[in-house]
Amino acid sequence: MKHNKPLVFTGSGVAIITPMKGGCVDYVALGRLIDWQIASGTDAIIAVGTTGEASTLTDEEHREVIRFTVEHTAGRVPVIAGTGANDTDYEVSLSRHACEVGADALLLVTPYYNKTTQKGIVKHFLAAAEASTKPCILYNVPSRTGLNISVSTYKELSAHERIVAVKEASGNISQIAQTAASCGGDLAIYSGNDDQITPIMALGGVGVISVLANVLPRETHLIAQHALDGNFAESARLQLELLDLIDALFIEVNPIPVKTAMALLGYCIPEIRLPLCEMEEKNLAVLRAALYRHGLLPA
């Protein structure tokens, strides 16, 4: 598919965790994670999204994590800043900050809890796009927000020069196909679900914004790269090979399992903010077993 707007990235972007220690963001651990991700082939860093616990960071922390991530990444790969909110004015403020500190693009989630109409979605996203000087990636995740972006709304928003892509985590392959057909090269599609990377890319998607990439950055990159190269058989083989681990990383609400996994692998401590909490023992056993099967933990 020919894209009419520059792509922010192709391949695998990691929805990176926000390490914490003693109630504060652990910037030393975050810096190490960014370096390891880039060395392992990750194509973009997505900071302070759902996986980065944006909802329980203070405003000061949210802004500082964006600034730190941009500074530490130092242009090695694109940095996409999560600046979405259910308050349009706050989303605009965060988006302006992210642009000012040098983020390469913004990730804008649909309003949650207060929700809105499709007309409200258009107004909400256009406000951020107008305030931004960088490309905007919409984020559709109805399971968390209670709100779905319709195909006709995608079509209307894709006319804006700075609305360039969507992270699609609706799980609705039929709707994603309809969006691709309707918007064509005006709206790039990233998979927002790790178990749907290959099928979404087979419909013309250009990559994934991934939780799995926290744990297996190289392998997640390869799933996407094989699809970009047109080798969908190999992409599907890797996708299916890792399906048990993908499922284990979502056995409880994200990012509880992935943050636990990263702690088990020694990249951070398993600190997470309430109302998220430590894993149930039975689910932890499933996660440990999946990490062991893929050679990530000793017996």
Residue numbers annotated as active site: 139, 167
Measured CA to CA, the distance from residue 216 to residue 213 in angstroms comes to: 5
Measured CA to CA, the distance from residue 171 to residue 191 in angstroms comes to: 9
